[in-house]
Amino acid sequence: MFDPHLWRRQFPILERKVHGKPLVYLDNAATTQKPLAVLDAERYYFEHFNANIHRGVHALSQEASEAFEGAREKVRAFLGAAHVEEIIFTRGATEAINLVAQTWGRTHLEAGDEILISAMEHHANIVPWQMLCEMTGARLKVIPMDERGVLLMDQVDHLLTARTRLVGITLVSNALGTVNPVVEIIRKAHAAGARVLVDGAQAVAHVAVDMVALGCDFFVFSGHKLYGPTGIGVLYGKKDLLTAMPPYQGGGDMILQVTFEKTTYNQIPYKFEAGTPHISGAIGLGAAIDFVRSVGLENIAAHEDRLLQEATERAQRVNGLRIIGTAPGKASIFSFVLEGIHPHDIGTILDSEGVAIRSGHHCAMPVMDYFHLPATARASFALYNTLEEVESLFQAIERVQKLFLN
Protein backbone atom coordinates (compact mmCIF):
# COMPACT_ATOMS: atom_id res chain seq x y z
CA MET A 1 0.00 0.00 0.00
CA PHE A 2 1.49 3.35 -1.06
CA ASP A 3 1.88 5.69 1.90
CA PRO A 4 2.93 9.28 1.05
CA HIS A 5 3.62 9.94 4.74
CA LEU A 6 6.48 7.44 4.65
CA TRP A 7 7.99 9.00 1.53
CA ARG A 8 7.65 12.50 2.97
CA ARG A 9 10.44 11.64 5.42
CA GLN A 10 12.79 11.60 2.45
CA PHE A 11 12.05 15.29 1.79
CA PRO A 12 13.37 17.41 4.67
CA ILE A 13 12.02 20.67 3.20
CA LEU A 14 8.46 19.44 3.71
CA GLU A 15 8.93 19.83 7.46
CA ARG A 16 9.40 23.57 7.30
CA LYS A 17 6.82 26.18 8.15
CA VAL A 18 5.79 29.13 5.99
CA HIS A 19 4.29 32.18 7.71
CA GLY A 20 4.03 30.04 10.83
CA LYS A 21 1.93 27.39 9.04
CA PRO A 22 3.02 23.93 7.90
CA LEU A 23 4.17 24.07 4.29
CA VAL A 24 1.70 22.54 1.82
CA TYR A 25 3.76 22.38 -1.35
CA LEU A 26 1.49 22.13 -4.39
CA ASP A 27 3.71 23.75 -7.03
CA ASN A 28 5.23 20.55 -8.33
CA ALA A 29 4.62 21.27 -12.00
CA ALA A 30 6.99 24.23 -11.59
CA THR A 31 9.59 22.20 -9.74
CA THR A 32 9.59 19.22 -7.40
CA GLN A 33 11.29 18.97 -4.02
CA LYS A 34 14.42 16.84 -3.73
CA PRO A 35 14.71 13.63 -1.71
CA LEU A 36 17.67 12.88 0.56
CA ALA A 37 18.97 10.41 -2.02
CA VAL A 38 19.50 13.28 -4.48
CA LEU A 39 20.94 15.67 -1.87
CA ASP A 40 23.27 12.91 -0.63
CA ALA A 41 24.44 11.95 -4.11
CA GLU A 42 25.44 15.52 -4.93
CA ARG A 43 27.10 16.05 -1.59
CA TYR A 44 28.96 12.72 -1.85
CA TYR A 45 30.29 13.74 -5.24
CA PHE A 46 31.63 17.05 -3.91
CA GLU A 47 33.05 15.45 -0.79
CA HIS A 48 34.73 12.49 -2.45
CA PHE A 49 35.51 12.84 -6.14
CA ASN A 50 34.86 16.35 -7.40
CA ALA A 51 36.96 16.79 -10.55
CA ASN A 52 36.53 17.72 -14.17
CA ILE A 53 35.51 14.82 -16.37
CA HIS A 54 36.72 13.10 -19.55
CA ARG A 55 40.12 14.77 -19.44
CA GLY A 56 42.14 13.80 -16.42
CA VAL A 57 44.08 10.59 -15.93
CA HIS A 58 44.00 11.06 -12.17
CA ALA A 59 41.75 8.96 -9.98
CA LEU A 60 39.24 11.68 -9.08
CA SER A 61 38.68 12.64 -12.71
CA GLN A 62 38.14 9.02 -13.67
CA GLU A 63 35.70 8.48 -10.82
CA ALA A 64 33.79 11.65 -11.72
CA SER A 65 33.70 10.60 -15.40
CA GLU A 66 32.39 7.16 -14.45
CA ALA A 67 29.65 8.65 -12.26
CA PHE A 68 28.68 11.15 -14.98
CA GLU A 69 28.53 8.45 -17.65
CA GLY A 70 26.76 6.17 -15.18
CA ALA A 71 24.06 8.81 -14.86
CA ARG A 72 23.74 8.89 -18.64
CA GLU A 73 23.16 5.15 -18.63
CA LYS A 74 20.47 5.57 -15.93
CA VAL A 75 18.70 8.12 -18.13
CA ARG A 76 18.95 5.75 -21.12
CA ALA A 77 17.35 2.92 -19.16
CA PHE A 78 14.69 5.26 -17.71
CA LEU A 79 13.71 6.44 -21.20
CA GLY A 80 14.01 3.01 -22.78
CA ALA A 81 16.41 4.37 -25.40
CA ALA A 82 18.29 1.85 -27.52
CA HIS A 83 21.74 3.50 -27.26
CA VAL A 84 23.44 5.45 -24.48
CA GLU A 85 24.93 7.93 -26.98
CA GLU A 86 21.38 9.01 -27.82
CA ILE A 87 21.25 10.75 -24.41
CA ILE A 88 22.60 14.31 -24.40
CA PHE A 89 22.82 16.30 -21.19
CA THR A 90 21.51 19.86 -21.46
CA ARG A 91 20.55 22.58 -18.98
CA GLY A 92 16.92 21.52 -19.23
CA ALA A 93 14.01 20.92 -21.56
CA THR A 94 14.24 24.49 -22.88
CA GLU A 95 17.85 24.15 -23.95
CA ALA A 96 17.16 20.73 -25.46
CA ILE A 97 14.40 22.12 -27.70
CA ASN A 98 16.57 25.08 -28.71
CA LEU A 99 19.37 22.67 -29.57
CA VAL A 100 17.12 20.75 -31.97
CA ALA A 101 15.71 23.94 -33.49
CA GLN A 102 19.13 25.47 -34.05
CA THR A 103 20.96 22.38 -35.35
CA TRP A 104 18.52 19.96 -36.94
CA GLY A 105 16.07 22.76 -37.72
CA ARG A 106 18.48 25.12 -39.44
CA THR A 107 19.83 22.34 -41.66
CA HIS A 108 16.48 20.76 -42.54
CA LEU A 109 14.06 23.65 -43.00
CA GLU A 110 13.68 26.14 -45.78
CA ALA A 111 11.17 28.77 -46.85
CA GLY A 112 7.70 27.32 -47.25
CA ASP A 113 8.32 24.35 -44.92
CA GLU A 114 6.02 23.88 -41.94
CA ILE A 115 6.32 23.14 -38.25
CA LEU A 116 3.23 21.84 -36.49
CA ILE A 117 2.75 22.31 -32.75
CA SER A 118 -0.32 22.19 -30.50
CA ALA A 119 -2.49 24.85 -28.91
CA MET A 120 -1.34 23.87 -25.42
CA GLU A 121 2.44 24.09 -25.77
CA HIS A 122 4.67 25.69 -23.15
CA HIS A 123 6.52 28.74 -24.49
CA ALA A 124 9.64 26.54 -24.58
CA ASN A 125 8.00 24.53 -27.36
CA ILE A 126 6.71 27.58 -29.24
CA VAL A 127 9.35 30.31 -29.23
CA PRO A 128 12.35 28.25 -30.47
CA TRP A 129 10.24 27.21 -33.49
CA GLN A 130 9.14 30.79 -34.13
CA MET A 131 12.80 31.84 -34.04
CA LEU A 132 13.59 29.05 -36.51
CA CYS A 133 10.71 30.19 -38.75
CA GLU A 134 12.11 33.73 -38.75
CA MET A 135 15.53 32.42 -39.79
CA THR A 136 14.34 30.02 -42.47
CA GLY A 137 11.05 31.39 -43.77
CA ALA A 138 9.20 28.30 -42.51
CA ARG A 139 5.65 28.57 -41.18
CA LEU A 140 4.26 27.61 -37.77
CA LYS A 141 0.89 25.83 -37.67
CA VAL A 142 -1.15 24.86 -34.62
CA ILE A 143 -3.37 21.87 -33.77
CA PRO A 144 -6.42 23.42 -32.03
CA MET A 145 -8.11 22.13 -28.87
CA ASP A 146 -11.60 22.17 -27.38
CA GLU A 147 -12.73 23.77 -24.11
CA ARG A 148 -11.85 20.63 -22.13
CA GLY A 149 -8.27 21.00 -23.31
CA VAL A 150 -8.46 18.04 -25.70
CA LEU A 151 -6.68 18.33 -29.05
CA LEU A 152 -8.90 18.21 -32.13
CA MET A 153 -7.27 15.13 -33.57
CA ASP A 154 -9.51 15.10 -36.64
CA GLN A 155 -7.74 18.30 -37.75
CA VAL A 156 -4.29 16.72 -37.65
CA ASP A 157 -4.66 14.96 -40.99
CA HIS A 158 -5.19 18.14 -42.95
CA LEU A 159 -2.72 20.19 -40.89
CA LEU A 160 0.01 17.70 -41.80
CA THR A 161 1.13 18.38 -45.36
CA ALA A 162 3.99 17.37 -47.61
CA ARG A 163 5.76 20.50 -46.30
CA THR A 164 5.55 19.53 -42.60
CA ARG A 165 9.09 18.88 -41.42
CA LEU A 166 8.54 18.66 -37.69
CA VAL A 167 5.75 18.15 -35.18
CA GLY A 168 6.45 19.48 -31.66
CA ILE A 169 4.02 18.16 -29.08
CA THR A 170 3.85 18.03 -25.33
CA LEU A 171 3.02 14.68 -23.76
CA VAL A 172 1.45 16.36 -20.71
CA SER A 173 0.25 19.98 -20.68
CA ASN A 174 1.63 22.02 -17.78
CA ALA A 175 -1.32 24.42 -17.86
CA LEU A 176 -4.18 21.92 -18.24
CA GLY A 177 -2.86 18.48 -17.31
CA THR A 178 -4.03 16.97 -20.60
CA VAL A 179 -2.19 13.80 -21.61
CA ASN A 180 -1.93 14.02 -25.39
CA PRO A 181 -2.27 11.03 -27.76
CA VAL A 182 1.34 11.27 -28.86
CA VAL A 183 1.47 7.71 -30.20
CA GLU A 184 -1.22 8.57 -32.74
CA ILE A 185 0.39 11.92 -33.53
CA ILE A 186 3.79 10.27 -34.07
CA ARG A 187 2.21 7.67 -36.37
CA LYS A 188 0.43 10.31 -38.45
CA ALA A 189 3.48 12.60 -38.56
CA HIS A 190 5.79 9.81 -39.67
CA ALA A 191 3.30 8.75 -42.34
CA ALA A 192 3.47 12.34 -43.63
CA GLY A 193 7.28 12.26 -43.60
CA ALA A 194 7.68 14.63 -40.61
CA ARG A 195 9.93 14.24 -37.57
CA VAL A 196 8.48 14.48 -34.06
CA LEU A 197 9.82 16.15 -30.93
CA VAL A 198 7.97 15.19 -27.74
CA ASP A 199 8.17 17.59 -24.80
CA GLY A 200 8.29 15.28 -21.79
CA ALA A 201 8.94 18.00 -19.17
CA GLN A 202 5.63 17.44 -17.37
CA ALA A 203 5.34 13.78 -18.22
CA VAL A 204 8.35 11.92 -16.88
CA ALA A 205 7.41 12.22 -13.20
CA HIS A 206 3.94 10.77 -13.89
CA VAL A 207 3.94 8.59 -17.01
CA ALA A 208 6.35 5.79 -17.97
CA VAL A 209 7.86 6.36 -21.40
CA ASP A 210 9.76 4.11 -23.77
CA MET A 211 11.62 5.69 -26.66
CA VAL A 212 11.74 2.52 -28.74
CA ALA A 213 8.00 1.85 -28.34
CA LEU A 214 7.11 5.52 -28.78
CA GLY A 215 9.28 5.91 -31.86
CA CYS A 216 9.61 9.70 -31.51
CA ASP A 217 12.66 11.32 -33.08
CA PHE A 218 13.44 13.66 -30.19
CA PHE A 219 12.31 13.71 -26.55
CA VAL A 220 13.21 16.32 -23.93
CA PHE A 221 12.81 16.71 -20.18
CA SER A 222 14.22 18.62 -17.19
CA GLY A 223 15.73 16.99 -14.11
CA HIS A 224 14.17 19.39 -11.64
CA LYS A 225 10.60 18.27 -12.38
CA LEU A 226 11.64 14.67 -11.69
CA TYR A 227 12.84 15.21 -8.09
CA GLY A 228 16.33 15.99 -9.45
CA PRO A 229 18.48 19.14 -9.53
CA THR A 230 17.92 22.28 -11.57
CA GLY A 231 20.27 23.11 -14.43
CA ILE A 232 20.32 19.57 -15.82
CA GLY A 233 18.06 18.13 -18.48
CA VAL A 234 18.07 15.70 -21.33
CA LEU A 235 17.72 15.59 -25.07
CA TYR A 236 17.07 12.14 -26.46
CA GLY A 237 17.51 11.89 -30.22
CA LYS A 238 17.62 8.96 -32.63
CA LYS A 239 21.23 8.02 -33.26
CA ASP A 240 21.23 8.57 -37.03
CA LEU A 241 19.63 12.00 -36.65
CA LEU A 242 22.04 13.17 -33.94
CA THR A 243 25.03 11.86 -35.88
CA ALA A 244 24.02 13.85 -38.95
CA MET A 245 23.25 17.06 -37.04
CA PRO A 246 25.83 19.85 -36.80
CA PRO A 247 27.02 20.81 -33.30
CA TYR A 248 25.14 23.37 -31.21
CA GLN A 249 27.88 25.16 -29.29
CA GLY A 250 31.62 25.03 -29.87
CA GLY A 251 34.28 24.57 -27.22
CA GLY A 252 36.07 21.95 -25.19
CA ASP A 253 34.99 18.30 -25.15
CA MET A 254 32.97 18.53 -28.36
CA ILE A 255 36.03 18.26 -30.64
CA LEU A 256 38.35 15.54 -31.89
CA GLN A 257 41.05 17.84 -33.20
CA VAL A 258 41.43 21.58 -33.43
CA THR A 259 43.75 23.54 -35.68
CA PHE A 260 43.30 27.11 -36.83
CA GLU A 261 42.51 25.76 -40.30
CA LYS A 262 39.96 23.12 -39.40
CA THR A 263 38.28 21.48 -36.45
CA THR A 264 36.82 17.99 -36.44
CA TYR A 265 34.01 17.17 -34.08
CA ASN A 266 33.71 14.48 -31.46
CA GLN A 267 31.16 11.68 -31.77
CA ILE A 268 27.73 11.83 -30.16
CA PRO A 269 26.80 12.57 -27.42
CA TYR A 270 29.95 14.65 -26.73
CA LYS A 271 29.55 16.63 -29.96
CA PHE A 272 26.60 18.36 -28.28
CA GLU A 273 28.15 18.83 -24.84
CA ALA A 274 30.62 21.67 -25.24
CA GLY A 275 32.36 22.85 -22.10
CA THR A 276 32.30 21.51 -18.56
CA PRO A 277 28.84 20.08 -17.95
CA HIS A 278 26.75 20.14 -14.78
CA ILE A 279 28.54 17.09 -13.36
CA SER A 280 26.92 17.09 -9.92
CA GLY A 281 23.55 17.77 -11.56
CA ALA A 282 23.82 14.73 -13.80
CA ILE A 283 24.81 12.60 -10.80
CA GLY A 284 21.86 14.03 -8.87
CA LEU A 285 19.54 13.28 -11.78
CA GLY A 286 20.80 9.69 -11.82
CA ALA A 287 19.97 9.45 -8.10
CA ALA A 288 16.51 10.97 -8.75
CA ILE A 289 15.82 8.32 -11.39
CA ASP A 290 16.87 5.56 -8.95
CA PHE A 291 14.58 7.12 -6.35
CA VAL A 292 11.57 7.34 -8.68
CA ARG A 293 12.13 3.76 -9.79
CA SER A 294 12.29 2.60 -6.18
CA VAL A 295 8.94 4.28 -5.47
CA GLY A 296 7.51 3.04 -8.78
CA LEU A 297 6.04 5.34 -11.40
CA GLU A 298 2.79 3.32 -11.43
CA ASN A 299 2.44 3.86 -7.65
CA ILE A 300 3.16 7.57 -8.04
CA ALA A 301 0.65 7.95 -10.88
CA ALA A 302 -2.07 6.03 -8.99
CA HIS A 303 -1.53 8.13 -5.85
CA GLU A 304 -1.60 11.42 -7.75
CA ASP A 305 -4.77 10.30 -9.53
CA ARG A 306 -6.41 9.79 -6.14
CA LEU A 307 -5.39 13.30 -5.07
CA LEU A 308 -6.65 14.79 -8.32
CA GLN A 309 -9.94 12.92 -8.01
CA GLU A 310 -10.36 14.16 -4.45
CA ALA A 311 -9.62 17.76 -5.52
CA THR A 312 -12.05 17.48 -8.44
CA GLU A 313 -14.83 16.17 -6.21
CA ARG A 314 -14.10 18.68 -3.46
CA ALA A 315 -14.25 21.49 -6.04
CA GLN A 316 -17.92 20.70 -6.75
CA ARG A 317 -18.72 22.07 -3.29
CA VAL A 318 -17.06 25.44 -3.91
CA ASN A 319 -19.34 28.01 -5.48
CA GLY A 320 -17.79 29.94 -8.34
CA LEU A 321 -14.83 27.58 -8.79
CA ARG A 322 -14.20 26.60 -12.38
CA ILE A 323 -11.64 23.96 -13.29
CA ILE A 324 -9.59 24.85 -16.37
CA GLY A 325 -8.63 21.66 -18.17
CA THR A 326 -11.09 18.79 -17.89
CA ALA A 327 -9.65 16.30 -20.36
CA PRO A 328 -10.45 12.69 -19.48
CA GLY A 329 -7.48 10.86 -17.93
CA LYS A 330 -5.53 14.05 -17.28
CA ALA A 331 -2.39 14.17 -15.14
CA SER A 332 -2.27 15.63 -11.62
CA ILE A 333 -2.56 19.29 -12.54
CA PHE A 334 -5.49 21.16 -11.04
CA SER A 335 -5.85 24.57 -12.70
CA PHE A 336 -8.77 26.68 -11.61
CA VAL A 337 -10.26 30.15 -11.37
CA LEU A 338 -12.58 31.64 -8.76
CA GLU A 339 -15.32 33.95 -9.94
CA GLY A 340 -14.57 37.58 -9.10
CA ILE A 341 -11.07 36.94 -7.66
CA HIS A 342 -7.81 37.40 -9.54
CA PRO A 343 -5.59 34.27 -9.51
CA HIS A 344 -2.70 36.32 -8.10
CA ASP A 345 -4.83 37.19 -5.09
CA ILE A 346 -5.66 33.51 -4.67
CA GLY A 347 -1.95 32.68 -4.76
CA THR A 348 -1.05 35.39 -2.26
CA ILE A 349 -3.69 34.44 0.30
CA LEU A 350 -2.98 30.73 -0.10
CA ASP A 351 0.69 31.53 0.57
CA SER A 352 -0.25 33.27 3.80
CA GLU A 353 -1.88 29.96 4.78
CA GLY A 354 1.32 28.05 3.96
CA VAL A 355 -0.12 26.65 0.72
CA ALA A 356 2.23 27.03 -2.24
CA ILE A 357 0.52 27.02 -5.63
CA ARG A 358 1.29 28.78 -8.90
CA SER A 359 -0.74 31.63 -10.26
CA GLY A 360 -0.08 33.11 -13.66
CA HIS A 361 -0.04 32.16 -17.32
CA HIS A 362 2.21 29.12 -16.69
CA CYS A 363 4.36 30.03 -19.72
CA ALA A 364 1.39 29.07 -21.87
CA MET A 365 -0.09 32.44 -22.82
CA PRO A 366 -1.95 31.06 -25.87
CA VAL A 367 -3.81 28.69 -23.51
CA MET A 368 -4.88 31.66 -21.36
CA ASP A 369 -5.97 33.54 -24.50
CA TYR A 370 -8.04 30.55 -25.60
CA PHE A 371 -9.93 30.55 -22.29
CA HIS A 372 -10.11 34.40 -22.23
CA LEU A 373 -8.32 34.41 -18.89
CA PRO A 374 -5.39 36.53 -17.74
CA ALA A 375 -4.14 33.70 -15.55
CA THR A 376 -5.20 30.65 -13.59
CA ALA A 377 -4.35 29.29 -10.16
CA ARG A 378 -2.68 25.90 -10.40
CA ALA A 379 -2.16 23.22 -7.77
CA SER A 380 -0.04 20.32 -8.98
CA PHE A 381 0.55 17.13 -7.03
CA ALA A 382 3.58 14.96 -6.42
CA LEU A 383 4.20 11.64 -4.69
CA TYR A 384 4.61 13.26 -1.25
CA ASN A 385 1.31 15.13 -1.24
CA THR A 386 -1.50 13.83 0.94
CA LEU A 387 -5.28 13.89 1.07
CA GLU A 388 -4.95 16.12 4.14
CA GLU A 389 -3.06 18.62 2.03
CA VAL A 390 -5.84 18.60 -0.57
CA GLU A 391 -8.21 19.47 2.27
CA SER A 392 -5.85 22.26 3.42
CA LEU A 393 -5.91 23.64 -0.13
CA PHE A 394 -9.70 23.79 -0.10
CA GLN A 395 -9.90 25.30 3.36
CA ALA A 396 -7.53 28.00 2.15
CA ILE A 397 -9.63 28.52 -0.99
CA GLU A 398 -12.72 28.96 1.16
CA ARG A 399 -10.83 31.51 3.21
CA VAL A 400 -9.97 33.43 0.04
CA GLN A 401 -13.64 33.54 -0.87
CA LYS A 402 -14.64 34.72 2.61
CA LEU A 403 -12.08 37.51 2.44
CA PHE A 404 -13.02 38.68 -1.02
CA LEU A 405 -16.69 38.00 -1.40
CA ASN A 406 -18.11 39.08 1.96
Question: Using the rule CB under 6 A, is 332 a contact of ligand PMP?
Answer: no
Q: Which of 146, 128, 141 is nearest to 167 (CA)?
A: 141
Question: Using the rule CB under 6 A, is 327 a contact of ligand PMP?
Answer: no
Residue with Cβ nearer ligand PMP (224 or 303): 224
Label each residue of the chain as H, E or C.
CCCHHHHHCCCHHHHCEECCEECEECECCCCCCCCHHHHHHHHHHHHHCCCCCCCCCCHHHHHHHHHHHHHHHHHHHHHCCCCHHHEEEECCHHHHHHHHHHHHHHHHCCCCCEEEEECCCCHHHCHHHHHHHHHHCCEEEEECECCCCCECHHHHHHHCCCCEEEEEEECECCCCCCECCHHHHHHHHHHCCCEEEEECCCCCCCCCCCHHHHCCCEEEEEHHHCCCCCCCEEEEECHHHHHHCCCCCCCCCCEEEECCCCEEECCCCHHHCCCCCCHHHHHHHHHHHHHHHHHCHHHHHHHHHHHHHHHHHHHCCCCCEEEECCCCCCCCEEEEEECCECHHHHHHHHHHCCEECEEECCCCHHHHHHCCCCCEEEEECCCCCCHHHHHHHHHHHHHHHHHHHC
Residues 341-400 that bind ligand PMP (CB under 6 A): 363
Question: Using the rule CB under 6 A, is 27 a contact of ligand PMP?
Answer: no
Question: Using the rule CB under 6 A, is 118 a contact of ligand PMP?
Answer: no
Distance in Å, CB of 201 to ligand PMP, minimum: 4
Distance in Å, CB of 74 to ligand PMP, minimum: 19
Distance in Å, CB of 240 to ligand PMP, minimum: 25
Residue with Cβ nearer ligand PMP (269 or 281): 281
363 among known catalytic residues: yes
According to CB under 6 A, which one of 24, 38, 53, 93 is a site residue for ligand PMP? 93
According to CB under 6 A, which one of 199, 273, 304, 389 is a site residue for ligand PMP? 199
According to CB under 6 A, which one of 32, 136, 174, 401 is a site residue for ligand PMP? 174
Distance in Å, CB of 363 to ligand PMP, minimum: 6
- Set 84, 131, 318, 363: catalytic member: 363
Question: Using the rule CB under 6 A, is 335 a contact of ligand PMP?
Answer: no
Distance in Å, CB of 29 to ligand PMP, minimum: 6
Distance in Å, CB of 231 to ligand PMP, minimum: 9
Residue with Cβ nearer ligand PMP (197 or 338): 197
Residues 215-244 that bind ligand PMP (CB under 6 A): 222
Q: Which of 48, 13, 46, 6 is nearest to 28 (CA)?
A: 13
Question: Using the rule CB under 6 A, is 37 a contact of ligand PMP?
Answer: no
According to CB under 6 A, which one of 98, 136, 164, 170 is a site residue for ligand PMP? 170
Query: Are residues 179 and 329 in contact, defined by beta-carbon separation less than 8 angstroms?
Result: yes
Question: Residues binding ligand PMP: what is the number (CB under 6 A)?
Answer: 13
According to CB under 6 A, which one of 202, 359, 385, 401 is a site residue for ligand PMP? 202
Residues 121-140 that bind ligand PMP (CB under 6 A): 122, 124-125
Catalytic center residues: 363
> Which residues contact ligand PMP by CB under 6 A?
92-94, 122, 124-125, 170, 174, 199, 201-202, 222, 363
